[in-house]
Structure 1
Amino acid sequence: MSIDTLGLREQKKRETRQAISDHATQLFLQRGFDRTTIADIAAAARVAKMTVTNYFPRKEDLALDHHEEFVAGPAATLARRPEGESALAAMRREYMAALERHDPVIGFTGPAFARMIAESPTLVARLRELHDLREEALAERLTAETPDDPIGARAIAAQLAAADRLLFRELQSRMLTAPDGDPLDSIAAELAEMAHRVFDLLEPSLGTAAIR
């Protein structure tokens, strides 16, 4: 099989996955997550039910399509941070950059999508689980950097994760009340002020901790 054929096959897989995700999102917004079935999504995307579950083993993954990036994000930020930068400084820098680009991974989902999540106990529970996994990945990264102090690494990860959860929830709450089509710049500015306050409060305890 040629490289070109492999490339076309991978492109087709990506297109199929994206089409399934797009149709699922439309149905979730129209009907609600819990009232939409895998069969509904398969019919809308014109694929077999098995094809949907092959790409998305969990129905929640169809709604929270950035879940892998969400879980790995903070740990990846620390892995990329330059020598001499603390974990707190890296997290602050990345969060402020994500605010500027209105990154959906940190909560810029739009009002309709935020309401869809809030109205589904299944998705609310899945988000809690993803936050736990996110903290665990962060702890594992810090523990790998300081294997002689695993409890210290986990304590730092817990504080950073708590700040991360707080900012995510604050942004989601503003998404819930924002009018559809409302520009996001004002929300981003409000969250930027809040984020600086949160990270400043952590500075005395974490400012010189976990420096690469």
Structure 2
Amino acid sequence: MSGRKAPDPAALPLRERKKLRTRQRISDVATRLFFERGFEEVTVAEVAEAAEVSAMTVFNHFPRKEDLFLDRIPQGIELAVAAVRDRAPGETPVAALRGLALRLVDEGHPLSAVGHPPFWRIVYGSPALRARLREGYDELEAALTATIAASGTDPQPRVTAALAVAAYRGACATSVRRMFTGEAVEVVLTDHRALLERVFRELERVLPLGG
């Protein structure tokens, strides 16, 4: 599976590097505070103070408080779009997304969606974060629909995108809830990879078009 590499931060102009560093600092501080005290108990003003920036600066980087914790949603959408857009000739969008999902698990990437129960306990314990996560999946579906449609090879881009996102979302929710019951993370991760492989293979079988 192909995919465009993210720009090397060192190659960016100084202004952009400073913005990235500020964004990362805010995110790191916010995450620490949320883990220490709980998402609902920390205000944006407190995050700003701890990160030594203004509240306006926080909102310049993160439109909503929820985005401070779920700050990788844009990156996840970008990776998925790139996987579909830059897929090999003859490869279907679903196959490209399967390859991306498996690679993220193999790399232990934060966007692999499972592997860190404390993070998911905070998300599932907050109505606001759960709502933002649902919005993130909706945004992913819309972006994939547009990308698949642009390729002109799939007669039903919205259906393909919706089913791919639903398959991924369902597999992740299943594995996260298993971790909540106390199952060993290593076991769940192994089964999670196999589950992703299975659901995407089945989806490829029923959606053979779009290469």
TM-score by length of 2: 0.86
The alpha-carbon deviation at position 147 of structure 1 amounts to 7.8
The alpha-carbon deviation at position 146 of structure 1 amounts to 2.1
TM-score by length of 1: 0.85
1:58-207 pair list within 5 angstroms: 58-108=64-114, 110-146=116-152, 149=155, 152-178=156-182, 184-206=185-207
The alpha-carbon deviation at position 77 of structure 1 amounts to 0.9
The alpha-carbon deviation at position 111 of structure 1 amounts to 1.6
Between the two proteins, the alignment pairs up a number of residues equal to 201
Q: 1:148 to 1:161 in 2, by over 3 A?
A: closer
Residues in 1 aligned to 2:154 and 2:182: alpha-carbon distance in whole angstroms: 47
**Residues 100, 188 of structure 1: 8 Å contact kept:** no
The alpha-carbon deviation at position 187 of structure 1 amounts to 2.6
- The AA in structure 2 aligned to 1:209 is L
Which whole-Å deviations, capped at 9, do the CAs of 1:156-182 have from their partners, x for residues lacking one? 112112111112212332443458xx7
Moved over 6 A (4+): none
Return 5+ residue gaps in structure 2 as ranges.
1-11
Question: Pairwise CA RMSD of aligned residues?
Answer: 2.2
- The AA in structure 1 aligned to 2:167 is A
- The AA in structure 2 aligned to 1:22 is D
Q: 1:158 to 1:46 in 2, by over 3 A?
A: same
Residues in 1 aligned to 2:97 and 2:29: alpha-carbon distance in whole angstroms: 34
Return 5+ residue gaps in structure 1 as ranges.
1-5
Which protein, 1 or 2, shows the higher relative CO under an 8 Å CA cutoff with sep ≥ 6?
Answer: 1
Which whole-Å deviations, capped at 9, do the CAs of 1:27-82 have from their partners, x for residues lacking one? 11111111110111011112221121122121111001101112333222111111
Q: 1:28 to 1:41 in 2, by over 3 A?
A: same
